Amino acid sequence: MTTLPFSDPNGRIFYACQAVLTTKRNVAGESDSTDGVFLNGVQSIGINGDMPSQSLLDIGRAQRQFHYYGQQNFEITIERRIDKDSDFFYFVDPSDYTAGAAGYKTSHALYKDNLHDKGFADDGGKSLRNYDITILYAPDKFSYIGAENDATPSSSDPDKNKIISVTYKSCLLSNIEYTIGVDGVTESVTLFTKQFRFNKDLSTLSAYGIDSNLPQAGEVLKRQHLDILKQPIDRKSRLPQEVISMFEVGNAESVYDGDDGTIRPLKIYGLNSISLSLSIDYSQIPDVGFWRGSEKDKEYEQNLFSYMNLPLQVTCSFTGVARRALEYGDFIWTDSADDVFVRNTDVIFGASGVMDPTTGLSYGGGPYRDGLDPSNPNPPKYGSPKPPSDVYNRTDRPIRLVFATFDPAANANKFHIIDLGNNNYVSSISTSGGDTGGGNVETTITYQNDHSDMVLVKDTQVRDLINEKPF
């Protein structure tokens, strides 16, 4: 008979008496379950266990007596709010986040120190990024995990240091999603594994190095921290031209001090929400004679023959209240300087435009704009023949979202950066609402990139990454 570690017979588990610890590694090896980092801002965590099984027909009887199980799968979903002092769940080390082509390589999701792409170790011993997710359960009679009982001195309470813990081992990341709405920023993370461990030998908080300083308070990232309202010359974020064309409604009465000391008016955007996601699909090479990860002391081998299916699926959607029809003439190829006819042709959104290096604005698939391309000082006029073939049908929309906060201790700004690179393209434009129920008309513009580009980093600077060649 199992004896519960807590003395209170009618205790329960709720949000105030559970915590999440994470351990990350880029090697296919075992590590200590106690070296996890406390995950701040967790709003919910759920576990969905799937045990696939099959019954065998038995000749001579209608009832199926024999039954066997396949490889089990446990899916872990974590939702959290990000405060200004916390990192993203998956993030690039700031030392690898440098400007230019070198920074593009070391910041890329497939880089050896980031997510990597295969479970088998490379020449440097690195393999797929995997995580241990440990969930701690403490008695519900304390105000928070690690706190003293409000009514009983800690020295006399036998349950103060007791916990139940479960560790889901060698989890692979399958999805990261960010929702930026008017009420804040939400991070949703999905991982999966084939095994977990009840930590019978780790039944105290002290075994995990957790003390009474565990609860942390911070300023969470909100919509006002997103740097999109400044003029393009000062803006840290980069928006594709379709979004600017649809949602920029003018200048606000408020002004700001530009990086060069010039006072400029703030922009107004009618955006209600922004959603970004990175989805990772894996395949596994069957290994005759083995269920990798099923042997004692070799559980970590479960991902040994796993690999990513490339490219990673990166999408981004912008949704806002429509104030006018989308002006397609701002960014599609047209042979007319007046009316824009969106014809059934393969060059819509496809003929590359030019990015202004001084503003970071891309003019997308429309005709060249005078003076914007440094390699072509005399581009064709609006409505003139198509652009040259070497820039035709390029995916060239930049997307970079930057959250700016201030660190009083360091007396400096710091930035949470989500950079999808400069090779995004429009995948859908949809309009809904405006019915007799009184709802607003909303437009959603969705982008995708096939370069596996999503850089998540917290740093004191925002860098321009340059994709000079395929990763």
> Which residue's structure tokens are 């959607």?
317
CA–CA distance, 65 with 62 (Å, rounded to integer): 9
CA–CA distance, 381 with 368 (Å, rounded to integer): 7
Per-residue pLDDT of the chain (471 residues; tens, 9 = 90+): 456 666 666 677 888 788 899 999 998 766 666 778 889 899 999 999 999 888 888 888 888 888 888 889 999 999 999 988 899 999 999 999 999 999 999 999 999 999 999 999 898 899 999 999 999 888 887 777 766 544 445 556 777 778 888 999 999 999 999 999 988 899 999 999 999 988 888 877 778 876 555 556 568 899 899 999 988 888 899 888 788 888 888 777 789 998 889 998 998 888 999 999 999 999 999 878 878 888 888 888 899 999 999 999 999 999 999 888 887 766 665 555 566 777 776 667 765 554 444 544 444 444 444 333 444 444 443 333 444 445 556 677 889 999 999 888 888 889 999 999 988 989 999 999 989 888 899 999 999 999 999 999 999 999 999 888 778
Alpha helix positions (H), 337-386: none
CA–CA distance, 240 with 470 (Å, rounded to integer): 22
CA–CA distance, 57 with 406 (Å, rounded to integer): 67
Supply φ then ψ for residue 224, to 5 degrees.
-70, -15
pLDDT at 215: 53
**What are 87's two structure tokens?**
């990192």
pLDDT at 350: 62
**What are 29's two structure tokens?**
């090896």
CA–CA distance, 133 with 21 (Å, rounded to integer): 6
pLDDT at 360: 45
What type of residue sits at position 26?
N
pLDDT at 376: 45
**Sign of the Cα pseudo-torsion (151, 155, 158, 159, in order):** positive
Tell the CATH topology of 15-52+71-90+129-222: Pnp Oxidase; Chain A (2.30.110)
What type of residue sits at position 308?
M
What does the domain layout of the chain look like in residue ranges? 15-52+71-90+129-222, 226-276+316-459
Quick count: other Cβ atoms within 10 Å of Cβ 80? 22
* 3 state DSSP class of 391: helix
**What are 146's two structure tokens?**
């690690």
Q: What is the pTM of this model?
A: 0.88
Supply φ then ψ for residue 103, to 5 degrees.
-70, -35
